[in-house]
A = this chain, B = another copy of it.
Amino acid sequence: MIMLGENKFGFFDSALKNMRGLWKSIASSEYDAERALSRPDLPEDDAVRLRQQMQACLESRGTEVKARARAAALGRAYLALDGKGRERFLRVLADEFDIDSDALLVAVEAFRAARNAEDRWQAEYQLRRTLKAPRVRLLTLFNALPEGVKFLVDMRAELIVLARHDPSLRALEHDLRDLLISWFDIDFLELRRITWDGSPAAVLEKLMVYEAVHAIESWDDLKNRLDSDRRCFAYFHPRMPAEPLIFVEVALMNGLAGNIQDLLDENAPVMDPEKADTAIFYSISNAQKGLAGISFGNFLIKRVAETLSGELKGLKNFATLSPLPGFRAWLDLVIEEEGAVLLSANEKTALEKIGGDDMSTDGDAGMHPLGRILARADWAERPAACDALKTPLLRLAARYLIEEKGKNGRALDPVAHFHLSNGARMERLNWLGDRSQKGLEQSAGIMINYAYRLSDVESNHDAYSRDDRVAAAGAVRALLKT
């Protein structure tokens, strides 16, 4: 069987183009929506013409084939616009193809007047119809573009920004989100392993762009992350085969990893994956801003854990090595609010000794000793500072992670919230686990392992989501009381 629907063979692009040449001209006069543009900022006259094209799509002038051709031309026109033009384009879509308010009012009244089941059913049906804005069909038709799904994902990314303070764009954004939720159902996605030997350079290049946790420095760094004792998996949509949606990087090891620089060291020896007992998920990145709010992470972690279990019989433990991205910001607040009682007398003395000793600088007199030392860019390289900081910072980190809550009782730290929702447990805090600038600035150099244990995942999830209870190993809880 030959698949024509999806042209996987870039090489035949032009062959297919030729094939389609004959019938393409069905809609040829309309193909030029983008040529109708006089300027990239979509002046009023252009906007009028675009609106007419949109109208033509929706009124089913011409066959369905032609409607799709028109929509594709509109899509290309959008791509040719600049930021201002795109905003105007979206506003046309949002305002002129919105639901019909009058019809909605009629439907609302009809619903109130309905007296029996059949009438109510009819009224409901009318309400539902009326509430479906014509622009939804237009959005769907953009799928006719060769990269239609990616087009809509990217359009939503732009729309999210624009919609923040604009109810009518927000409604359009919601329509688009609903469409994408339906299309990006997890069971339509493909989990693929990404490898140096098998994955196209174009996909690998995107990992470099999208990596959000520990930046990939070079092709050599990337190759090292795809070595035989590493794994990388991503979800893909069948119509966006070169665009990872979310991906995870995994290190196979013995025991928990405690330090990200060691883990990423290109000169570290490669281990035999058959002998590993632990898989460390050290980086999980969402790649598509336009899919914000559509979550795949929970599935990704579990599918990858299953897959690795099947491949490597020695694996017993699945855990992350994660940052505490909000810790330092929270700490600054806490120092301000509770500075006086934050440290024991001994801790304070020790820190002041360091601060007063070799690290004091002009102008920081009067600062809290914790803040004063952390303000130094090089504290993590000074053994004495590290010694003095270790106990109080780990205690505060444990408090931040376990006890501090955001809205709805969620863990304040977003990474903690993600893993706790998935049923993971806080397993171990790692002092100086990330000495990079970003690691120091966000997490004060501390990293945490979240462990995924089969037998506990569901109960952890339930305890967290119902009762805000945080699963944490004894050793982590113990830090609260040091």
**Which of B121, B298, B307 contacts A64, CB < 8 Å?**
B298
Listed by A's residue number, 26 A-B pairs whose Cβ atoms lie within 8 Å are A4-B190, A4-B307, A10-B198, A11-B195, A15-B15, A15-B311, A18-B310, A19-B309, A20-B306, A22-B454, A23-B309, A61-B462, A62-B461, A63-B457, A63-B458, A64-B186, A64-B298, A65-B302, A66-B458, A68-B186, A104-B111, A105-B112, A108-B112, A117-B168, A148-B187, A200-B200
Q: In whole angstroms, what is the CA distance A235 to B5 when docked?
A: 8
The answer to whether residues A298 and B2 also contact, given A15-B12, A16-B310, A117-B167 and a CB cut-off of 8 A, is no
Interface string of A175-207 (1 = CB under 8 A from B): 000010011011111111111111111111000
A183 to B219, CA, bound (A): 35
Q: How far is the CB of A177 from chain B (nearest CB, A)?
A: 12
Binding site for B on A (CB under 8 A): 1-6, 9-12, 14-16, 18-27, 60-66, 68, 99, 101, 104-105, 108, 111-112, 117-118, 120-121, 124-125, 127-128, 131, 140, 143-144, 148, 167-168, 170-171, 174, 179, 182-183, 185-204, 219, 223, 233, 235-236, 238-239, 242, 273-274, 295, 298-299, 302-303, 305-307, 309-313, 421-423, 454, 457-458, 461-462, 465
Cα distance, A306 to B239, chains bound together (Å):
22
**Chain B residues whose C-beta falls within 8 Å of the C-beta of A4 in the assembled complex:** 11, 190-193, 233, 303, 307
A23 neighbours in B (Cβ, 8 Å): 302, 305-306, 309, 454
Chain B residues near A194 (CB-CB < 8 A): 1
Given contacts A128-B131, A131-B131, A200-B200, contact A11 B190 (CB under 8 A): no
List B contacts of A310 (CB < 8 A).
Answer: 15-16, 18-22
Q: Tell which of B5, B174, B273, B311 touches A189, judged by Cβ atoms closer than 8 Å.
A: B5
State whether A11 touches B2 (Cβ < 8 A): yes
Contacting pair A458 B62 (CB below 8 A): yes
User: A120 CA to B65 CA in the complex, in Å?
Assistant: 36
Docked pose: A16 CA to B306 CA in angstroms: 9
**Nearest B residue (CB) for A167:** B121
> Smallest distance from the beta carbon of A238 to chain B beta carbons, Å?
5
* 6 cross-chain pairs, A with B, having the tightest CB-CB distances, nearest first: A19-B310, A5-B190, A2-B11, A143-B187, A4-B191, A121-B167
Report the separation of the CA atoms of residues A143 and B120 in the bound assembly, to the nearest whole angstrom: 30
What separation, in Å, do the CA atoms of A27 and B421 have in the docked complex? 16
Q: Is the CB of A185 within 8 A of B19?
A: no
> A26-B457, A310-B20 known; A99 and B111 CB under 8 Å?
no
Smallest CB separation, A471 vs chain B (Å): 13
Q: Known: A9-B2, A131-B127, A298-B63. Is A311-B458 also a contact (CB below 8 A)?
A: no
Closest chain-B Cβ to A206's Cβ sits at a distance in Å of 11
Most buried by B among A3, A6, A239, A274: A3
State the CA gap A183–B193 with chains docked (Å).
Answer: 26
Contact check: which of B2, B14, B298 meets A65 at CB < 8 Å?
A: B298
> Given the interface contacts A62-B461, A454-B25, does A1 sit within 8 Å of B187 by beta carbon?
no
Q: In the docked arrangement, what's the CA distance between A202 and B168, Å?
A: 49
Contact residues in B for A9 (Cβ distance below 8 Å): 2
A3-B124 in contact (CB<8A): no
